[in-house]
């Protein structure tokens, strides 16, 4: 079977297609024949060495497919079941993937394989952000960077569904249209600012009667962190959930005091789905919403498995919108 391997930490060119034997599921594992594989920004951190990993590495922690074999002791999943997963371990850029049975998510009958692969990680992240890290409700105004991205489009819809007013940032006119269609009340073109750390908070305060937002969700990180912090109102919260532009340098907590007794957190999804009941609840919520059409899942691009390097180039080059999939 085919799989993509990064032989050493590096750029997208380190990703190589290899032929390898089909793995045997160990205790508690299932073997899945993948139908679609989700690409996430974290895959680029793993590939490039931002997060230390063992190499050679098969990236990927998300996908959907059909169970083809069970490891010893597995009785919660059967051969032939349609499943999806968001796994903390890598290894999903392959035609056949081992998944811990406890991490498999049942795919509703009326959800196609591509949508099922598109939402576990970004969908549950969006869900954790509005219903876990914060509890959004009517009357709240929030700021979200990269509003047309994979997490961004889903988070906007979930926040709007809870009654919040959403302000997003995007870097192009076509991304602005997508963000508006997802429900953003205001879309800011941050690519047009000469001085982003000063101009973005000024624009956000203009849109909020000078107050700022209750919550800023920032997945862009290094380039936007200061601007987001300065956009939050007194006693509000800054949620740093990623670093698409780079990691945020060490931070002096005293700045939270000076900015108005703010809260700051750096959450990761796997701490919000570690409990099996919480995983089932979050997965059920996003899968049901996608199946009924309440949540619109945009698949912005599909690449053959062998072209994973091109997919990484597009994602890191800000060329993508919504979800990017690999098709084995």
Ligand X SMILES: NC(=O)c1ccc[n+]([C@@H]2O[C@H](COP(=O)([O-])OP(=O)(O)OC[C@H]3O[C@@H](n4cnc5c(N)ncnc54)[C@H](OP(=O)(O)O)[C@@H]3O)[C@@H](O)[C@H]2O)c1
> Where does this chain bind ligand X (CB under 6 A)?
40-42, 121-122, 125, 146, 148-152, 170-171, 175, 219-220, 223, 241-245, 267-269, 315-316, 318, 320
Q: Which of 2, 59, 34, 1 is nearest to 113 (CA)?
A: 34
Provide, rounded to whole angstroms, the least separation between the CB of residue 165 and ligand X.
20
CA 286 to centroid of chain Cα atoms: 13
3-state secondary structure of 87: coil
Which C-beta is closer to ligand X: that of 29 or that of 231? 231
Provide, rounded to whole angstroms, the least separation between the CB of residue 243 and ligand X.
5
Which C-beta is closer to ligand X: that of 94 or that of 119? 119
Letter string b/e over residues 278-316, b meaning 16 or more CB atoms within 10 A of that residue's CB:
ebeebbebbbebbbeeebebebbbebebebbbebbbbbb
Q: Which of 323, 300, 324, 281 is nearest to 124 (CA)?
A: 281
Provide, rounded to whole angstroms, the least separation between the CB of residue 323 and ligand X.
8
Pairing, β 299-304 against β 263-265: unpaired
Give phi and psi for 157, each to the nearest 5. Answer: -65, -40
Which C-beta is closer to ligand X: that of 194 or that of 209? 194
Which C-beta is closer to ligand X: that of 66 or that of 327? 327
Which C-beta is closer to ligand X: that of 67 or that of 239? 239
Provide, rounded to whole angstroms, the least separation between the CB of residue 209 and ligand X.
26
Give start and end residues of each alpha helix (H) in 209-266: 225-229, 254-258
Provide, rounded to whole angstroms, the least separation between the CB of residue 72 and ligand X.
31
Which C-beta is closer to ligand X: that of 291 or that of 301? 301
Q: Which of 258, 247, 244, 266 is nearest to 169 (CA)?
A: 244
Provide, rounded to whole angstroms, the least separation between the CB of residue 85 and ligand X.
14
Q: Which neighbouring-strand residues pair with 186?
A: 167
Which C-beta is closer to ligand X: that of 67 or that of 295? 295
Provide, rounded to whole angstroms, the least separation between the CB of residue 61 and ligand X.
10
CB 214 within 8 A of CB 142: yes
Provide, rounded to whole angstroms, the least separation between the CB of residue 298 and ligand X.
10
Which C-beta is closer to ligand X: that of 12 or that of 152? 152
Letter string b/e over residues 215-234, b meaning 16 or more CB atoms within 10 A of that residue's CB:
bbbbbbbebbbbbbbbbbbe
Q: Which of 322, 319, 316 is nearest to 41 (CA)?
A: 316
Which C-beta is closer to ligand X: that of 94 or that of 227? 227
Give phi and psi for 238, each to the nearest 5. Answer: -105, 125
d(CA 49, CA 188): 32
Provide, rounded to whole angstroms, the least separation between the CB of residue 205 and ligand X.
21
3-state secondary structure of 155: helix
């Amino acid at each position: 079977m085919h799989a993509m391997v990064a032989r050493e930490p590096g750029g997208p060119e380190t990703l190589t297609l290899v032929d390898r034997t089909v793995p045997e599921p160990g205790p508690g594992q299932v073997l899945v024949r993948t139908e679609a594989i989700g690409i996430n920004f974290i895959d680029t951190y793993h590939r490039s060495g931002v997060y230390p990993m063992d190499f050679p590495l098969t990236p990927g922690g998300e996908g959907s497919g059909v169970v083809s074999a069970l490891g010893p002791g597995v009785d919660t999943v059967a051969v032939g079941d349609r499943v999806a997963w968001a796994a903390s371990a890598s290894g999903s850029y392959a035609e056949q993937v081992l998944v811990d049975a406890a991490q498999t998510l049942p795919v509703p009958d009326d959800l196609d394989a591509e949508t099922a692969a598109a939402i576990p990680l970004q969908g549950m992240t969006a869900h954790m952000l509005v219903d876990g890290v914060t509890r959004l409700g009517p009357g709240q105004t929030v700021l979200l960077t990269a509003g047309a991205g994979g997490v961004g489009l889903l988070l906007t819809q979930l926040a709007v569904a809870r009654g919040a007013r959403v302000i997003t940032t995007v870097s192009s006119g076509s991304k602005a249209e997508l963000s508006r269609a997802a429900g953003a009340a205001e879309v800011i073109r941050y690519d047009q600012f000469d001085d982003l750390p000063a101009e973005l908070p000024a624009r956000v305060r203009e849109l909020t009667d000078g107050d700022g937002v209750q919550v800023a969700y920032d997945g862009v990180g290094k380039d936007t962190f200061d601007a987001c912090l300065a956009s939050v109102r007194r006693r509000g919260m800054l949620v740093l959930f990623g670093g698409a532009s780079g990691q945020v340098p060490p931070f002096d907590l005293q700045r939270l005091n000076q900015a108005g007794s703010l809260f700051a957190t750096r959450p990761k999804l796997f701490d919000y789905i570690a409990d099996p009941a919480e995983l089932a609840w979050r997965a059920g919520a996003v899968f049901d919403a996608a199946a009924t059409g309440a949540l619109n899942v945009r698949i912005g691009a599909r690449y053959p498995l062998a072209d994973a390097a091109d997919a990484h180039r597009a994602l890191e080059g800000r060329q993508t919108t919504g979800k990017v999939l690999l098709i084995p």
